């Protein structure tokens, strides 16, 4: 029996376009709002940018974990009475796309903040909590979760301090040394579809 494409597959292109746009909007708006907010507590701009970058990375990590757990629960439930015409995988995906509001975003936000609190690369004044940028984290968790429902899913590039700067993955920040070959630190992650860059990130290069 041939399987008809599910609703998730039929709407894949339009959902992908919306999510790519939204990720770009977060970079342009919520990221800058978070930057402004953090600058009231932290004078070191590098630390502010590191905090935001790590928040983005941890948001994707938390959202991918939440998606995997959600998908397992949905598959276990739907497999009991599944008969077609769609494949079980398509039926599961359709259900998740229709019921994304069941994703516990707050649990993902809490997980991100917990991970940030133990990250040795970033520090925060003890009287303040990373919860001050929870608006940014929440939006990133929501978008990252939705990106897992795409075929293929979207993810962010893995970045490390000291890596060779890639013109295809990143823009240099305005305060970079434009002759430097290595990334000092990342400002924003590149958005990827498998090995293809969909949206460039931002990095600082220094000698």
Same domain, yes or no: 145 and 164: no
Q: How far apart are CA 79 and CA 150, in angstroms?
A: 21
Angle at 31 between CA 28 and CA 33, to 5 degrees: 100
Closest Cα to residue 165, out of 177, 156, 154?
A: 177
Which residues constitute the domain of residue 136? 7-153
Q: Which two tokens stand for residue 174?
A: 């305005």
Between the alpha carbon of residue 163 and those of residues 116, 121, 169, 194, 201, the distances in Å are 22, 16, 12, 20, 14
Do residues 55 and 98 both lie within one domain? yes
Domain termination residue (choose one: 153, 172, 197) = 153
Same domain, 78 and 175: no
Domain membership flag for residue 2: no
Classify the C-alpha dihedral 9-138-70-155 as positive or negative.
Answer: positive
Q: What is the CA radius of gyration of the chain?
A: 19
189, 166 Cβ separation under 8 angstroms: no
Domain presence at residue 92: yes
Per-residue pLDDT of the chain (207 residues; tens, 9 = 90+): 334 456 777 787 888 999 999 999 999 999 999 999 999 999 999 999 999 999 999 999 999 999 888 888 877 776 677 666 677 677 777 776 777 787 889 999 999 999 999 999 898 777 778 999 999 999 999 999 999 989 899 999 999 999 999 999 999 999 999 999 999 999 999 999 999 999 999 999 998
Does 190 share its domain with 95? no
Q: What angle do CA 4, 18, 114 make, to 5 degrees?
A: 105
Give the residue among 194, 155, 158 at the shortest CA–CA distance from 64.
155
Number of domains in the chain: 2
Look-up of token digits 């994707």: 60
Tell me the sheet residues that pair with 186. Answer: 203
* 25 and 57 in a common domain: yes
Residues 179 and 126 in one domain: no
For residues 145 and 183, membership in a common domain is answered with no
Residue 173 and residue 102 share a domain: no
């Amino acid at each position: 029996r041939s399987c008809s494409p599910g609703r998730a597959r039929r709407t894949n292109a339009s959902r992908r376009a919306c999510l790519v746009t939204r990720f770009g909007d977060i970079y342009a708006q919520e990221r800058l709002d978070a930057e402004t907010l953090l600058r009231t507590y932290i004078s070191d701009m590098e630390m502010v940018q590191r905090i935001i970058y790590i928040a983005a990375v941890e948001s994707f990590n938390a959202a991918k974990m939440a998606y995997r757990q959600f998908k397992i629960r949905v598959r276990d439930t739907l497999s009991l009475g599944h008969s077609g015409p769609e494949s079980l995988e398509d039926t599961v995906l359709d259900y998740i796309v229709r019921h994304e509001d069941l994703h516990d975003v707050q649990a993902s936000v809490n997980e991100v903040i917990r991970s940030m609190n133990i990250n040795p690369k970033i520090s925060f004044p003890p009287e303040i909590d990373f919860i001050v940028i929870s608006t940014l984290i929440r939006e990133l968790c929501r978008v990252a979760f939705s990106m897992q429902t795409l075929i293929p899913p979207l993810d962010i590039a893995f970045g490390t301090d000291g890596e060779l700067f890639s013109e295809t993955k990143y823009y240099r920040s305005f305060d970079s040394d434009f002759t430097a070959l290595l990334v000092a630190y990342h400002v924003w992650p590149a958005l990827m579809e498998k090995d293809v860059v969909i949206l460039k990130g931002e990095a600082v290069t220094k000698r």
